[in-house]
Structure 1
């Protein structure tokens, strides 16, 4: 084993069974098993808590995938869009009038309603005028805070955690959806019923359901590799253990030829953590929580990444580079390995389309001493759609609109939602929709960040991208390392976690860059505990205990 040898203990990790979500400060609650009974319209005035606030899961059956998904979290894959997509909804879900909404986007701004044919047609299909306000994702916390403080809560608002005192805020400002969607009640809405259970858990606070998840794949991030470069250099596409991985990144790095293995130390940290089966942040064992940076194993991670830094494995500008620069380095072959979100898989293919021989792939981490490595679970949502408190008729209308927006892949509704109108926003290549110039500009309207169906693996016109992503998920998902804090709330983490944890993360960069010594690590961890780390731990442990009875 390369690097400083440090003993490792087995990590017992999981979603914590029925761990759901917290109330004020630390509390959490959980739902029991689904009754499976058919229900009619809910009675929100009844006042009694449902036996299960987590909605039942009912898989979509509108189309058969080419590559099957799994209950464990592998997404279904489609090599082409169905040639005759089924129309699920026979009428518009809205009742006329205006529905105001607030969300975010990671894309460029779309043209306004008056100059956007896609938005105009969307309104016709929804049966309402969608008054959509949105901001860049990085600015959204401030936009959300000022909107709530102003007292004019939209009909639909995307809530992204962490938010200080979130359970209190939800109870005061937003609709409790438990009776509308809990258990079998969700089965009135086929799109919402097909959303994954683990994502719904992130919408329960104080034992009540306060939102609809904008689900994200369990696969999370990927260490992308340039398969073409590995093949040209006769290097292994799948290292067998840490030693072979270390040899690989060494071979890929040669400053005199302006090439390095990885963009930044963060990619190295994540790689070695997964080899050691370490979670992203917290691990749980018998109700006790341990931060990953407190473990002996994490010292091994730091020792190995520090050694790689000294050896010149990372790009020299890595500590100041942004994501766009890292992606450009990867496309140009300046780096061969790049950690990024799995949602960008198709983009990595597109960016290098004009590069001769270019072929990206996902590199699955081996175990440190051999065998399969772990894979860090991704965030199960990117937010939840919550409704302003209203009468039952209005809430049911908003639910119907959200259900329309969550109509699954392969349907006519999904085709329009993501690709607009045929002949205007997209043209067909076979049965695959390819966006036109107008479509590329107008369809970025961020309705997918209001509500959306569970994701699938699909790359229009690119079967290789679809197969490679599905193969990667099939390899890593069985070894995923879940996050035990999913469904738990720590108010201290929400208010001060970035500051408390940031000091320790900054110190680790100083260690890697040679400005501080690994010998100082234990003292720095002790300072973190005193500064609030222990208090955050206590809140999560209390929330876990409440959730698990």
Structure 2
């Protein structure tokens, strides 16, 4: 399992989150839509909260001491656990119930068929917490529509979960007007009443400031890029292929490995890896696309390396080394992992969770299959320049109309769901009741049908522990994932607006919306690099330069969130 592995933007992002949530694994992801906040309480919805003000708002950080991970966090990585699960050795992180027996209604996205409210999992969790949580599950695929309707009404549930990719339109304004300030309960040393919340990294809390107030309960994520260039290690070993260390070496390998007549191609669409190899700022969220060069703010699409990354990816397509499905765009509608596992192509980029997911899926039917992650290389063979993604992108909010008793009960829920791996609370939150929802076989927890139906995308969405990777059945994968994050984290920079919740002016926020489609058209040979240069010129004249000035003012007034 992979609790809270980084799952930010990347291929099949929305479909990935749905499948991961159903599996109760790695649901702390992000999407390339605007997250939001800003201004004083009830005031302007544009802008952000200054780092000076944030210091007075943020909870104190107190590292957890109940469980010690096998691999500590380093360079922004998750923590890792590589041992078998010992149920008899599970720790207790919540020694007494903090809930006072009240009822809390929670609206959250759900992928699949929600279980009945009186199921054994919900009953056991509520008994442990001391709170009667009543779930109002909504279809995750149409959640934004439901959100808009609910937040526009006067009947808002006690708690509402809002993923970052659902924060478009009027949702940011609704967050500041409809949801409570949790600062009086959590700011500074107040959080120590909830030790598992105190152990959540400060960066994740920084992202939970909306409208100048601490409103969100976060689901933390590693800020290291979540897009891994995967390769078929078993095939590489058999064929004697070397791992490429530059874009030229990659191209040479790709041409050597491709044999279209034998229905084997070298790779999939490598655009995301190209952006990383050429040092292009993150496209996960618009504020992350800005960097400072020579004292000036520059947007990612204005950079020469952005065009170079597109041109290199285009050359891969033109050389015929990319699997035809990607040329036709089919990879956007289907999971490319199936054909990767079948050996139709040997390299592709996908979310870090796929490392374990494909390994587990192929373990019995394809025992020779071995997937591994390449280190991201600098295009010229040197060290890469990578940029941080956001440290949290899913949040739970408490209604402004909620009584103090409801707020306290909600925090009691969050203190249990944020319990670390290796605790009784974590096991119940993520696996349910032993014997009812899962069994442990050779130190590996295995859910049964009841567990797969009941223990999915619920309590984990209220709050989660620091990013964690643990696979008792494939400890080498957990180790590989964490160490990959650590190595890549060493080359990762935080851009000026990292960790901030920023709402762009509505009149300017859609300016770059068409860039991604144009990127795809260019790498597939349907458009030219000159078309992107013209699009950027149009972007600047239609408001891009004004947006630059707007961001400069934010930076001058507030300073960067990351020290």
Shorter-chain TM-score bucket reads: 0.7 to 0.9
Q: Which of the numbers 268, 271, 280 marks the counterpart of 1:269?
A: 271
Q: Which of the numbers 54, 62, 77 marks the counterpart of 2:66?
A: 62
| Structure 2 residue aligned with 1:504 | 515
| Structure 1 residue aligned with 2:46 | 26
Aligned partners of 2:209 and 2:501 also within 8 Å: no
Aligned partners of 1:21 and 1:543 also within 8 Å: no
| Structure 1 residue aligned with 2:158 | 155
Q: Is 1:371 the equivalent of 2:382?
A: yes
Q: Residue deviations 1:138-161, cap 9 Å, x none?
A: 322212111111221111111233
Aligned partners of 1:429 and 1:461 also within 8 Å: no
1:461 Cα offset (Å):
1.7
For 1:495 and 1:186, locate their aligned partners in 2 and report how far apart those are by CA, in whole Å: 38
Q: Which of the numbers 329, 338, 347 marks the counterpart of 1:337?
A: 347
Q: Is 1:98 the equivalent of 2:103?
A: yes
Alignment of 1:380-459 (within 5 A): 380-389=391-400, 390-459=402-471
Relative to structure 2, which stretch is displaced further, 320-329 or 468-477?
A: 320-329
| Structure 2 residue aligned with 1:16 | none
Relative to structure 2, which stretch is displaced further, 359-368 or 158-167?
A: 158-167
Relative to structure 2, which stretch is displaced further, 473-482 or 163-172?
A: 163-172
Using the size of structure 2 for normalisation, the TM-score is 0.84
Matched length: 507
In structure 1, runs of 5+ residues without a counterpart are 1-19, 33-48
Label 1:187 to 1:97 Cα distance change in 2 as closer, same or farther (>3 A): closer
| Structure 1 residue aligned with 2:292 | 285
For 1:50 and 1:360, locate their aligned partners in 2 and report how far apart those are by CA, in whole Å: 42
For 2:535 and 2:90, locate their aligned partners in 1 and report how far apart those are by CA, in whole Å: 57
For 1:345 and 1:244, locate their aligned partners in 2 and report how far apart those are by CA, in whole Å: 23
Q: Residue deviations 1:452-502, cap 9 Å, x none?
A: 2123121122122122212212221111243543344554477874x4323
In structure 2, runs of 5+ residues without a counterpart are 1-35, 284-288
| Structure 2 residue aligned with 1:346 | 356
Label 1:396 to 1:85 Cα distance change in 2 as closer, same or farther (>3 A): same
Label 1:517 to 1:309 Cα distance change in 2 as closer, same or farther (>3 A): same
For 1:510 and 1:88, locate their aligned partners in 2 and report how far apart those are by CA, in whole Å: 51
| Structure 2 residue aligned with 1:304 | 312
Q: Which of the numbers 522, 529, 532 marks the counterpart of 2:533?
A: 522
Q: Is 1:86 the equivalent of 2:91?
A: yes
Aligned partners of 2:64 and 2:199 also within 8 Å: yes
For 2:74 and 2:148, locate their aligned partners in 1 and report how far apart those are by CA, in whole Å: 38
| Structure 2 residue aligned with 1:127 | 130
| Structure 2 residue aligned with 1:45 | none
| Structure 2 residue aligned with 1:540 | 551
Q: Secondary structure at the match of 1:217?
A: coil
Q: Is 1:76 the equivalent of 2:96?
A: no
Q: Which of the numbers 219, 223, 228 marks the counterpart of 1:218?
A: 223
Q: Residue deviations 1:234-287, cap 9 Å, x none?
A: 1113x22221122222233222121222332xxx22222212222113132277
Q: Secondary structure at the match of 2:251?
A: helix
| Structure 1 residue aligned with 2:29 | none
1:517 Cα offset (Å):
2.2
For 2:547 and 2:347, locate their aligned partners in 1 and report how far apart those are by CA, in whole Å: 34
Aligned partners of 1:78 and 1:456 also within 8 Å: no
1:231 Cα offset (Å):
1.3
Label 1:494 to 1:58 Cα distance change in 2 as closer, same or farther (>3 A): farther
1:307 Cα offset (Å):
1.0
1:29 Cα offset (Å):
2.2
For 1:227 and 1:180, locate their aligned partners in 2 and report how far apart those are by CA, in whole Å: 50
Label 1:359 to 1:247 Cα distance change in 2 as closer, same or farther (>3 A): same
Relative to structure 2, which stretch is displaced further, 316-325 or 297-306?
A: 316-325
1:308 Cα offset (Å):
0.9
Relative to structure 2, which stretch is displaced further, 535-544 or 62-71?
A: 535-544
Q: Which of the numbers 145, 158, 164 marks the counterpart of 1:142?
A: 145
Using the size of structure 1 for normalisation, the TM-score is 0.86
Label 1:297 to 1:50 Cα distance change in 2 as closer, same or farther (>3 A): closer
Relative to structure 2, which stretch is displaced further, 250-259 or 159-168?
A: 159-168
1:101 Cα offset (Å):
0.6
For 1:259 and 1:519, locate their aligned partners in 2 and report how far apart those are by CA, in whole Å: 32
Label 1:82 to 1:378 Cα distance change in 2 as closer, same or farther (>3 A): farther
1:31 Cα offset (Å):
4.4
